[in-house]
Amino acid sequence: MMIFLLEEKIMRAVIVDKPGTVHVGTAPDPTPKADEVLIRVGACGICGTDLHIAEGSFPPSPYPIIPGHEFAGEIVALGSNVPKGIGRKGTVLREGMRVAVDPSLFCGHCDFCRVGHGNLCANWGAIGDTVSGAFAEYVAVPAANVYLIPDHVSYREAALVEPISCAVHGLHKLSPRLGDTMLIVGAGTMGLLLMQLALRGGASRIAMMDLNTKRLALAEKLGASRIATSVDELLSYEPDGFDCVVDATGIARAIESGFTAVKRGGKFMVFGVANSEARVSLSPFRIYNDEITVVGSMAVLDSFQPAIDLVASGAINMEVMLTQALPLERYPEALEMVRRGEGVKTQVLPNGNL
Ligand SMILES: [Zn+2]
Ligand SMILES: [Zn+2]
C-alpha cells in the first residue's frame, strides 16, 4: 500500500482550502529538501490553533494549507545533505528512527533569534501553521527539528510532547518556588499539563478552576488540592490568595478574576491565547503596592528535549490526557469534538496504529 502511494506521489491529507472550508483529500507526496527528512506520521494532535486555522482567525497561516503541528512519526527518507550529529549524543539520523518534531521554524538571524529568543522570531513560522503540517500521511521537516523518542514512548504519547513543551516553557518563565501555592484557571489540555508538571516541580498545592465539571474531576484525579467553578469559591479556602496564578483560558473575564487571586508578592502568568483584540481591566495599584509580577509565555523555547524526558519518565498521566484518536478521514468530526470541548486531547492517526 505504501509503495503504491510513493510511486503515485500522492498522499491523503487534510486541506484547509480557505477559511471555513476543510476537506480530506490528496496532496503531492512531499519530497525532503537537502536538509530535511520525510516523516511517516504516527499521530498528530489537534489544538485550539487548528480551530483558528480552519476558521481563518490565525493571521500567519496562508491558504490552502495542510495543518497539524503536534506530531510524531517515523523517518522514512532523508534529504541529500542532512546534518550529522543531531541532538543528544550527536545522533546520525537513519530511516526507521522514531521521532517527535519541534514545529518551530525560527529564522536564526533576526534580532530576537540572535539573543536566543527564537520563539519571538521576527520571521516566525511553524510546521502546520505557516507551511504544510502533519494531518497527512507524510510530512517533510528540517532534520534539525527532530528529536528521538525512546522505544517505550508511543507515537500518541510523543505527539503530546509539543504541548508539554509549551507548558515546560511556561513554567520556566513563571519559575515558581518550591512550596508555592498555585491556582490554574482553565482545566483543558494545557491547564492539566501545567498542573501535573507544577506538582512535580514542587508546588505544594494547586487549585483548579473551570466551568466544565468533567474536566475538574480529571484535575482532582491528577492531584488538584481543590477544584471549583469560580475563583471566589477557591479564595474562600485561600483568603490571602495564591503565590502563583496561571491563566490557561485566554478569556478576558477569567484573566480578570484570576488576577484578583494573586497573593501579595506573587506572580501572574498569561499562558492562554487571548483574542488579539481582547482587553482586560487590572489594578495597577495592586501590581505596584503588592509587588505582583506579570509574566507572558509564548510557545516553545529550549523546552522540547526536557518535555521528551518528562514524558519518558512518566511525569504525565497519558491515560487521562489522550482521550480520542480518529483516522485522518474523520478530521472534520475530530475538529468538532475539540470545538465542543469533548474529552481532553483529540488526535488523528493518518497511518492507522503505527
Ligand atoms: Zn498546538
Ligand atoms: Zn528570527
Question: How far is Cα 305 from Cα 87, in angstroms, rounded to an integer?
Answer: 9
Query: So what's the pLDDT on residue 279?
Result: 97
**Residue 1 pLDDT > 60:** no
Task: Kindly list the protein residues that place their beta carbon closer than 5 angstroms to ligand 1, a single-atom ion.
Answer: 47, 49
- Which ligand sits closest to the CA of 123? 2
Query: So what's the pLDDT on residue 107?
Result: 96
Query: So what's the pLDDT on residue 194?
Result: 98
Burial of residue 236 (number of CB atoms within 10 Å: 0-12, 13-18, 19+): exposed
pLDDT digits (tens, 9 = 90+) for 295-351: 999 999 999 999 999 999 999 999 999 999 999 999 999 999 999 999 999 999 999
Cα of 47 vs centre of ligand 1, distance in Å, is: 5
- Which ligand sits closest to the CA of 345? 1
DSSP β-bridge partners for residue 126:
104
pLDDT digits (tens, 9 = 90+) for 101-112: 999 999 999 999
Cα of 304 vs centre of ligand 2, distance in Å, is: 18
Q: Which of the listed ranges 56-60, 182-186, 350-354 does the model predict with the highest average pLDDT?
A: 182-186
**Residue 6 pLDDT > 60:** no
Cα of 46 vs centre of ligand 1, distance in Å, is: 7
Q: What is the mean pLDDT of the chain?
A: 96
Cα of 60 vs centre of ligand 2, distance in Å, is: 15
Question: How far is Cα 153 from Cα 97, in angstroms, rounded to an integer?
Answer: 13
Cα of 97 vs centre of ligand 1, distance in Å, is: 24
Cα of 284 vs centre of ligand 1, distance in Å, is: 32
- Which ligand sits closest to the CA of 119? 2
pLDDT digits (tens, 9 = 90+) for 120-153: 999 999 999 999 999 999 999 999 999 999 999 9
pLDDT band of residue 2 (cuts 50, 70, 90) is: low
Burial of residue 100 (number of CB atoms within 10 Å: 0-12, 13-18, 19+): buried
Query: So what's the pLDDT on residue 297?
Result: 97
Cα of 125 vs centre of ligand 2, distance in Å, is: 9
Nearest CA to 50 among 142, 118, 135, 161? 135
**Residue 220 pLDDT > 90:** yes
CB half-sphere exposure, 177, CA atoms < 13 A = 6
- Which ligand sits closest to the CA of 134? 1
Take residue 126 and report the three cell numbers written for it: 511553524
Cα of 189 vs centre of ligand 2, distance in Å, is: 28
CA distance readout (Å), 305 to 87, 88, 143, 300 = 9, 9, 15, 11
**Residue 4 pLDDT > 80:** no
pLDDT digits (tens, 9 = 90+) for 190-205: 999 999 999 999 899 9
pLDDT band of residue 87 (cuts 50, 70, 90) is: confident
> Looking up cell 502568568, which residue turns up?
269
- Which ligand sits closest to the CA of 112? 2
Cα of 55 vs centre of ligand 1, distance in Å, is: 15
Query: So what's the pLDDT on residue 295?
Result: 98
Cα of 322 vs centre of ligand 1, distance in Å, is: 14
Cα of 68 vs centre of ligand 1, distance in Å, is: 8
Take residue 283 and report the three cell numbers written for it: 489594578
- Which ligand sits closest to the CA of 111? 2
Query: So what's the pLDDT on residue 276?
Result: 86
Query: So what's the pLDDT on residue 9?
Result: 84
Query: So what's the pLDDT on residue 88?
Result: 87
Query: So what's the pLDDT on residue 214?
Result: 95
Amino acid identity, position 245: V
**Across the beta sheet with 242-247, what order do the strands follow?**
226-228, 205-209, 181-185, 242-247, 262-270, 293-296
Residue pair 245/219 in contact by the 8 Å Cβ criterion: no
CA distance readout (Å), 265 to 9, 243, 254, 294, 311 = 59, 7, 21, 11, 32
DSSP β-bridge partners for residue 134:
none
Cα of 100 vs centre of ligand 2, distance in Å, is: 22
3-state class of 17 per DSSP? strand
Cα of 126 vs centre of ligand 2, distance in Å, is: 12
Cα of 113 vs centre of ligand 2, distance in Å, is: 4
Query: So what's the pLDDT on residue 71?
Result: 98
Nearest CA to 212 among 186, 234, 189? 186
Question: How far is Cα 190 from Cα 192, in angstroms, rounded to an integer?
Answer: 5
